[in-house]
Structure 1
Amino acid sequence: MTGRDLHLIGAAATEETGLGIEVTGLRVRFGSVEAVAGVDLRVEQGQSLGLLGRNGAGKSTTMRVLAGVVPPAAGSVVVGGHDVRAHPLEAKRAVGYCPDVGGLVPRATPWEHLQLTARLRDLTGWEDRGRELLERFDLGDVAHRVTAGFSHGMARRLSVVLAALHEPAVLLLDEPFDGVDPVGVEATFEVIEDARARGAAVLVSTHLRDLAVDVCSEVAVLRGGARMATIPSGFMAGDDGARAYRALLAG
């Protein structure tokens, strides 16, 4: 079975429900700390949802649950039509995940990262897309340089490339704009729009409200591990949106 076959399986499962992501009553605990406290999220096919909130709001933990990295303590989590607890492998196959930190091998080059991703996902004929993504993110000239010397922004850009390579049914981008220059921001916008155009569900976690408003159709604001509101992105734009956002963060 090729990587393209896996993509089609994920897409078909999503078509049955019309939802790429459905989270109900998600709770995650680390010892005595409840990092996520009953979060509900829904992201339809072709939709992008932004997760906004301060550090410690539960954004990255929610992303890690969706990516199959952290198990939920309670609640229902379905990605690409697959329950992450009942069908973890199928759920992971449907997802492309850019973590908030780490994920890169310091002694490997961007091209070697692409090769590893392709091998793990059994992709064939991926080389042209890999080259195109590296060029789009201004990483073509360093494709064969080890990532140990990369700036934070370069590492962020490569992480988005790796998440998008196999055209997943669900694209999870955790802080993709952190330390990224305008070229990288524009390239990430293009990847998100491409994903939406082919019917993928996109979840973007960021602390940058303006960028979330620009690229997402809705935003969900988290505070203290709980979802305070889900709002059409237009209502979060400009000075009025900034005031509304501050009010939600303050409680």
Structure 2
Amino acid sequence: MSGLSVEGLVVRFGPVVAVDDVTLRAGAGRATALLGRNGAGKSTTLRVASGVLPPTAGRVTVDGVDVVEDPLGAKRAVGYCPDVGGLVPRATPWEHLELSARLRGLRGWEPRARELLRRFDLDDVADRVTAGFSHGMGRRTSVVLAALHEPRVLLLDEPFDGVDPTGVDATLEVVREARDRGATVVVCTHLRDLAVQVCDEAVVMRGGRVVATTPVPALRGEEGARAYRDLLA
């Protein structure tokens, strides 16, 4: 099965159950918003889907590849922007992109890398180490890294956090482009108003569980905001 499939996912950290029997699907050629408050289990779910964190129980596949049985194959299919970290402080954005391209065996990647850096307003700092970057600059760099190889499954965890309008617009454009070329996109965020601009459906999590799966139009406007607040109550 293409896309992202999560079946009965459980993740425990000692006595704490961070994700509790979560089942969700995100199809190819669609953008899915994973919504909920901080601590709802959204980021943990994406960490499992990206192959960063092993599940305690359940099954997760990306682009038809089981993340436990073939973690390397799953990682090849995924472009992942983590919610925190992911950047080497003493490396520049260009060095990050060059390393990613080498690890993935990409050829002719430089023009796309330059275009992404320009679009995210990072071209002027492409040769500066990321240690001095603001939080928003780090977020933008992480999205560029995730999108570089045009992955079949694009997982963006809190890509809008601390990002200026230019970065928000560039991220929304990356999501639209990935969706239009048939990729699966999952945008994990607590910012409902931004997610509804670009996603087709929303999965709402609370307390480690999925509490609703709904078409995005149902969450738009004031009525949608009230419905969303009710789901989080």
TM over 0.5: yes
Query: Which residue in the other structure is 2:48 paired with?
Result: 65
Match of 1:9 in 2: none
Give CA deviations for 1:96-153 in whole Å, capped at 9, x if unaligned.
0000000111111111111111111111110000000000000001111111111100
The Cα offsets for residues 24-54 of structure 1, whole Å up to 9 and x where unpaired, read as 1111000000000011111111011001111
Match of 1:95 in 2: 78
How many angstroms does 1:189 deviate by?
Answer: 0.7
Number of equivalent positions: 233
2:135 — aligned with what? 152
TM-score by length of 1: 0.92
Q: Which residue of 1 aligns with 2:176?
A: 193
> What is the 5 A alignment of 1:60-139?
60-139=43-122
The code of the aligned residue for 1:178 comes to: D
Correspondence for 2:197: 214
Identical aligned residues as a percent: 70
Distance in 1, Cα, partners of 2:90 & 2:53: 26
Distance in 1, Cα, partners of 2:175 & 2:196: 13
1:55 aligns with one of 38, 44, 66: 38
Using the TM superposition, give the Cα deviation of residue 244 of structure 1 relative to its aligned residue in structure 2, in angstroms.
0.7
Please state whether the residue corresponding to 2:32 is helix, strand or coil: strand
In structure 2, how many angstroms separate the alpha carbons of the residues matched to 1:45 and 1:116?
Answer: 28
Residue identity in the other structure for 2:178: A
Q: CA–CA distance in 2 between the matches of 1:147 and 1:61? A: 25
Residue aligned with 1:130, SS: helix
Q: Is the counterpart of residue 23 in structure 1 residue 6 in structure 2?
A: yes
- Amino acid in the other structure paired with 1:61: T
Runs of 4+ with deviation above 2 angstroms: none
Report the alpha carbon displacement of residue 237 of structure 1 after superposing the two structures with TM: 0.7
> Runs of 5+ in structure 1 lacking a partner?
1-16
Deviation, structure 1 residue 197: 1.1
Report the equivalent of 1:43: 26
Of 226, 229, 232, which residue of structure 2 is paired with 1:246?
229
- Local SS of the residue matching 1:24: strand
Gaps of 5+ in 2: none
CA–CA distance in 2 between the matches of 1:170 and 1:237? 25
Q: Secondary structure at the match of 1:205?
A: strand
Residues of 2 paired with 1:195 and 1:235: CA distance?
A: 23
1:228 is matched with: 211
